Amino acid sequence: MFRGALSIWGRDMLVLRRGILSELIAVIAYPLTLYLAFGFGLKGYISEVGGVPYPLFIAPGLISMTAVNAAFDESSWSMWFHRRVQHTIEEYRVTPITVYDIVIGKIFSGFTQGALKGAVVFLVIALCTPFRIDYSHLPAYLLCLSISSMTFSCLGTICGTVIDKPENIGRVQSVVIVPLIFMAGIFFPLSSYPAAVLPIIKLLPTTAVFEGARAALLLGYLPPQYLINLLLSASIAFALAVYTFNRKMAE
């Protein structure tokens, strides 16, 4: 069971291991820049948000953003590349594994990359800045990070499966993923939204990702409404990814 998925995941990890250093430098640079620019640049203007120092307020979201972006990128581009450029998906499909093995293997690769890169950014921020947390909060935060990475890995897999032109993957990122991430309160509290919009914003899966991450890391628990949102989003995204891939392969 899932022998094929494990083999495909193993292949992706082997490739990741080869380029891990350059990958991590690229991955760390972006959130670290944002942390330094916003966390320190705006510290003089915004000292606290809801009693939390601003650098500490944005850090959980930045780490989660790295993780979900990495999960989405890896899944979408990898699926697209293997399907449209290398045609290795066709090679997998003439071996005695199922399409479920392929899609699950790819989703887990995205998830692993997301979780790994998120963890590395966390370490770098912890090492290089005064950012400190209560480490007993870590399990709740890692749970949130894992489910979020899984959801975005599934979304990336769907994009890599249905989109044929590479520029359209970039467009989905710019038009859907980035606004969803930035609307979800990484840099500002949700209370900034007008009361009429707030209920909709709270329903966004990305709000559960970032607000959930903040609560988990700073308070040590994942609020139930965000946990349910995260689990539901991950389950729906997983079912959709498997269905979409299966359907595409049957065409």
Please give the residue ranges that form the binding site for another protein (CB under 8 A): 3-4, 7-8, 10-11, 14-15, 18, 86-88, 90-98, 250
Q: Around Cβ 99, how many Cβ atoms within 10 Å?
A: 18
Output 88 or 129, the one with its CB closest to another protein: 88
Sequence-ordered alpha helix ranges (H) in the chain: 3-18, 20-34, 41, 54-80, 88-93, 99-128, 138-162, 166-172, 178-183, 198-203, 205-219, 224-250
Output 4 or 61, the one with its CB closest to another protein: 4
Least distance in angstroms from the C-beta of 113 to another protein: 14
Output 20 or 138, the one with its CB closest to another protein: 20
Structure tokens at 169: 């993957």
Least distance in angstroms from the C-beta of 96 to another protein: 4
Least distance in angstroms from the C-beta of 6 to another protein: 8
d(CA 172, CA 178): 9
CA dihedral 206→211→217→221, nearest 10 degrees, is: -110
Least distance in angstroms from the C-beta of 48 to another protein: 47
**Are the beta carbons of 221 and 215 closer than 8 angstroms?**
yes
Rg, the chain, Cα only? 18
Least distance in angstroms from the C-beta of 18 to another protein: 8
CA angle in degrees (0–180, nearest 5) for 223-227-232: 150
In 3-state terms, what secondary structure has residue 147?
helix
Least distance in angstroms from the C-beta of 21 to another protein: 16
Output 90 or 134, the one with its CB closest to another protein: 90
DSSP state of 192: G
**Dihedral sign for Cα atoms in the order 47, 53, 56, 61:** negative
Output 116 or 227, the one with its CB closest to another protein: 116
Output 112 or 146, the one with its CB closest to another protein: 112
Output 3 or 165, the one with its CB closest to another protein: 3
Residues in a beta bridge with 49? 52
Least distance in angstroms from the C-beta of 87 to another protein: 4
